[in-house]
Structure 1
Amino acid sequence: MDAIQHQRTIQHLFWRAGFGASPSEVKKAMSISRLQLVKSLFRDSSNIKLLTQVSDAPAQDLKNIRQAVKQNAGGSREDLRDKLKLMAQERRESISSLNDAWVAQMGNGAYAFREKMALFWHNHFACRSRAVGFIQQQNNTLRTHALGKFGDLLMAVSKDAAMLQFLNNQQNRKRSPNENFAREVMELFTLGRGQYTEQDIKEAARAFTGWGFNINGDFVFRENFHDDGLKTIFGKSGNYKGEDVIEMLLANPKTALHISTKIYRAFVNEKVDEAHIAAMAKRFYHSQYNIADLMEYVFTSDWFYHSVNIGAQIKSPVEYLSGLQRTFNLDFVDKTPVLYTQKILGQVLFNPPNVAGWPGGKAWIDSSSLLSRLQLPSVLFRNETINVSVKESGDVNEEQLVRKNKFEINMNWQDFAHSFESIPDAALCKTLASYLLQVPINDATIKRIENKVSAPERSETVKQLCISLMSTLEYQVC
């Protein structure tokens, strides 16, 4: 393996187990073995840094709404409308603040692998909630269990207030069962489509009756709402409760296969290899769903580093933004354009399109989003304006977002250029390309970029070359 290919395999691991790495980090990693690097990434993510951006207890979100209605019982409709509008704006600002905090933690924190896994589970257990405290609570649940046992994660999310609210299980009662949660826990979270019957869903919904939460976001089993009658699920009969259904789902090897397939598509390649996935599923099942063990198996397998898997994934919008932070050691000063960019690229954290989450893959790219991606480096580093409008979303802050479509960043180009001070001018563009791109770029493109860059200082030359390289199709994949 030549030096460039070895470098790309190191960067491949950094991208799959995180959000990329700076050139100095890559150079350091090239001096140790692959196994040592994997172990170090796991070790760095052994600690957990919870998000604490939302200081109010989850109850405040619900309590404030109820108080507003009560206090305006004798007031005008206009007064109530204004108060609810103000509360809605405060909620949006809190969600935006939470979004900023997570992007910063993905892009600058020491726990890249854990955050990458939390992002994966955020899409697997896709959920929306108007209660900001519930959102933060769920996100921290995903982070806490991201590398533990899948069974613990599944149980924790299944008893999570945001999920129970999103899938209507708070309304699931013995006299009027609601099947939403039971259906999604089978179809999306565990077995996959076609591995259960409609009768299984109906009976499982009965088992989940009484599962709910209180105003503080704590799980509550309301026994008087629970159907304690005989149920037949997957051919077995008993007076089952929700926990019993979860155990049945984990006992089925199809769950291990479904999760392994999703992990393969997210961390290896959208084009699946059935033999590799079968080996993953077998290991996952027999390890009692040990997530860390499965991911270590993937990252230490020779097939993970095959050329067909390197540069095979389109960066998600969040990966793109977080990767910028890690590669260039930059910080977004004004966070509003970060949210705006998520909107125009099609992935706003805490706001998945539906319970199935973001489809990913080629869905990240269309004519509008591709134009935005190609413009973004100039917007970031040349203080240009994003010339793409977001789709109407009903957000009253949309106009404010459009006015703030310029980035303000902290970054030191001289420090970044220092990593390349020994590289001769003739080889500078190609060397930068080897660190920024995970697929080869042809010599004609390199020559064209070199010809249009002219700067009096070395750091400015590095900056302009990087902007041009990042404005290519090749930069969109990792």
Structure 2
Amino acid sequence: MAASLINNKHLLWRAGFGPGIEQIDDLKNKNIKTILNEVFNEESFSPIVYETPDIQPIEYTDPKATAEQKREIQRVNQKQNNELNLNFLQKMTASKEQLREKMAFFWHGHFATRINNSKFNQQLLNIIREKSLGNFKDLLFEVSRSPAMLSFLNNQQNKKDHPNENFAREVMELFTMGRGNYTEKDIREAARAFTGWGYDKEGNFNERKKLHDTGTKTFLGKTGNFTGDDILNIILEQKSTAEFITTKIYTFFVNEKPDSSRIKNLSEDFYQSGYDIKKLMNEIFSSPWFYDKKNIGNRIKSPTELFVGMMRILPMNIQNPENITVYQKLLGQMLLYPPNVAGWPNGKSWIDSSTLMLRLQIPQIWSGLRPMEYSAREDDDMDMGMKSREALNKSFKNPNIIIDWNKVDQALAQKKAEDYLIVNSESLDMNIVNQFSDKSLKMNVINLMSTPEYQLM
């Protein structure tokens, strides 16, 4: 297979969610520079919304709210969160701005929050989508002031005389510098600087001056009457911040085994550029080493990458889209619902005996060739309002998908399907695939997507 085809597939999977069906035709002949330009193409930003109408904003904590009102709030929030989830998936699948959505997916796991309030979720999701390729400083400031993050990390309760350290700790440990670059005292002093940062119930950031500790603080060797903004600016002055973010981006987009000398060069450039994310990504995807053999086909697709990749190559009409969230739950990646503040672990953690079986069977289930007979992981606490495996099974309907196989036939006619579906098809034993095929392109595609090789990108 031509090296250019492998490199083009590699780029489309890493800088997006794989080739779309309309890209198949000239994928083999396209110059990598042309594809790079397409990948970095930007259109005007369109936010993700939900259609379900809001209800009167009564907070859970409102003493006047009845049990019935609280249940209703929860029900509406759940419906709206499901819509946001599916609309985010739809953007990843259909958007021409593949890199914007792929970066947003990355930041969604980096700035992980898990709250019920759908309005706050929508706001944060659109911040990370709009700023995903912009400046990391702007992104950090906006995320840090978002009610979703302030709520999730308890900064609403961070007041002078009673500082809450949760937000200050995670900002440093998970979002900027990483462990080992600050002390417990730095956390305490930063927490004092963030006192008073909160939000109102409409979701507006609120610096509550009366709750702010105006005393002198010493943070990372600097002393002053610091505010939350000052703390974030001092964090951004640290080279360790550029290195931590670059490492995380490298292990997500290039290789889970970090290459320290490459990361050092990239992070130096990232720091000098004033944290220009787009410039960093361009440097990565334009570098010859990005296309080294060891970086191709070495990553296990996350459940989201798996679903969206299939939806991009198989034009499908999903009759019960809400049931797609059940697959997310079963495979351990519910969008808007990370397991904890550290986001989703990647790599081998996606695969265990139950998830691998389901992952290999999804192409057959979605094509209507096999029934769905799975239930969620025992250890998972995402109840989604369903309290038991029985409830999950009972409420589950197949997503009821209609795939336009004629379109697939046209796109892959006169082509080897494996060259387009599998990133590194050289490792694939086509004899085994053909054994289960009835020679039709449809069965060939379904069987290729059911191979362990299809799980890699």
Deviates more, 1:376-385 or 1:47-56: 47-56
Aligned to 1:15: 13
Aligned to 1:428: none
2:103 and 2:133 in contact (8 A); partners too: yes
Unaligned runs of 5+ in 2: none
Alignment of 1:63 with 2:63, yes or no, is: no
**CA positional deviation for 1:6:** 1.9
AA paired with 1:447? Answer: N
> Which of 16, 30, 37 pairs up with 1:39?
37
Q: Distance in 2 between matches of 1:337 and 1:468?
A: 23
C-alpha offsets along residues 221-241 of structure 1, whole Å, 9 cap, x if unaligned? 011100011100011110000
> Which of 401, 407, 414 pairs up with 2:399?
407
Q: Distance in 2 between matches of 1:37 and 1:63?
A: 49
Unaligned runs of 5+ in 1: 72-79, 424-430, 456-460
> Which of 39, 46, 50 pairs up with 2:47?
50
The residue matched to 1:410 in structure 2 has which SS?
strand
Aligned pairs for 1:259-274 within 5 A: 259-274=245-260
C-alpha offsets along residues 401-425 of structure 1, whole Å, 9 cap, x if unaligned? 65434232232111111123335xx
**CA positional deviation for 1:360:** 0.8
> Which of 106, 127, 131 pairs up with 2:92?
106
| Gap change, CA 1:294 and 1:268, over 3 Å in 2 | same
Q: Distance in 2 between matches of 1:275 and 1:206?
A: 37
Q: Distance in 1 between matches of 2:121 and 2:394?
A: 26
> Which of 412, 417, 423 pairs up with 1:432?
417
Alignment of 1:449 with 2:433, yes or no, is: yes
C-alpha offsets along residues 368-396 of structure 1, whole Å, 9 cap, x if unaligned? 11011011111011342222211354443
2:52 and 2:80 in contact (8 A); partners too: no
Aligned to 1:335: 321
**CA positional deviation for 1:86:** 3.1
Aligned pairs for 1:75-474 within 5 A: 80-391=66-377, 393=381, 394-397=383-386, 399=391, 402-423=394-415, 431-440=416-425, 445-454=429-438, 461-474=440-453
Q: Distance in 1 between matches of 2:112 and 2:31?
A: 36
1:124 and 1:188 in contact (8 A); partners too: yes
1:53 and 1:98 in contact (8 A); partners too: yes
AA paired with 1:408? Answer: N
| Gap change, CA 1:356 and 1:106, over 3 Å in 2 | same
2:254 and 2:295 in contact (8 A); partners too: yes
Q: Distance in 2 between matches of 1:300 and 1:26?
A: 22
Q: Distance in 1 between matches of 2:150 and 2:447?
A: 47
The residue matched to 1:384 in structure 2 has which SS?
coil
Q: Distance in 2 between matches of 1:317 and 1:378?
A: 16
AA paired with 1:373? Answer: R
**CA positional deviation for 1:65:** 4.1
Q: Distance in 2 between matches of 1:207 and 1:442?
A: 55
The residue matched to 1:454 in structure 2 has which SS?
coil
Q: Distance in 2 between matches of 1:179 and 1:413?
A: 55
- TM-score under structure 2 normalisation? 0.94
**CA positional deviation for 1:439:** 2.3
Alignment of 1:476 with 2:436, yes or no, is: no
Q: Distance in 1 between matches of 2:59 and 2:21?
A: 49
Deviates more, 1:414-423 or 1:275-284: 414-423
Deviates more, 1:413-422 or 1:146-155: 413-422
Q: What percent identity do the matched residue pairs reach? A: 39
Q: Distance in 2 between matches of 1:113 and 1:410?
A: 27
Q: Distance in 2 between matches of 1:340 and 1:107?
A: 18
2:160 and 2:211 in contact (8 A); partners too: yes
C-alpha offsets along residues 439-466 of structure 1, whole Å, 9 cap, x if unaligned? 23557x31232233226xxxxx111011
Q: Distance in 2 between matches of 1:98 and 1:115?
A: 14
Bigger Rg over Cα: 1
**CA positional deviation for 1:64:** 5.6
Q: Distance in 1 between matches of 2:123 and 2:427?
A: 47
Q: Distance in 1 between matches of 2:118 and 2:138?
A: 23
- TM-score under structure 1 normalisation? 0.90
2:330 and 2:375 in contact (8 A); partners too: yes
**CA positional deviation for 1:61:** 7.3
2:375 and 2:393 in contact (8 A); partners too: no
C-alpha offsets along residues 131-180 of structure 1, whole Å, 9 cap, x if unaligned? 11000000001111101000000000000001000001011111100100
**CA positional deviation for 1:29:** 4.1
1:54 and 1:133 in contact (8 A); partners too: no
| Gap change, CA 1:10 and 1:219, over 3 Å in 2 | same
| Gap change, CA 1:207 and 1:55, over 3 Å in 2 | farther
Two-structure CA RMSD over aligned residues (Å): 1.9
Aligned residue-pair number: 451
Deviates more, 1:464-473 or 1:27-36: 27-36
The residue matched to 2:64 in structure 1 has which SS?
helix
| Gap change, CA 1:192 and 1:64, over 3 Å in 2 | closer
2:217 and 2:223 in contact (8 A); partners too: yes
Q: Distance in 2 between matches of 1:242 and 1:109?
A: 36
C-alpha offsets along residues 224-268 of structure 1, whole Å, 9 cap, x if unaligned? 100011100011110000000000011101100000000001100
Q: Distance in 2 between matches of 1:95 and 1:385?
A: 27
**CA positional deviation for 1:468:** 1.0
AA paired with 1:207? Answer: A
Deviates more, 1:336-345 or 1:196-205: 336-345
1:108 and 1:329 in contact (8 A); partners too: no
Aligned to 1:77: none
Q: Distance in 1 between matches of 2:190 and 2:285?
A: 36
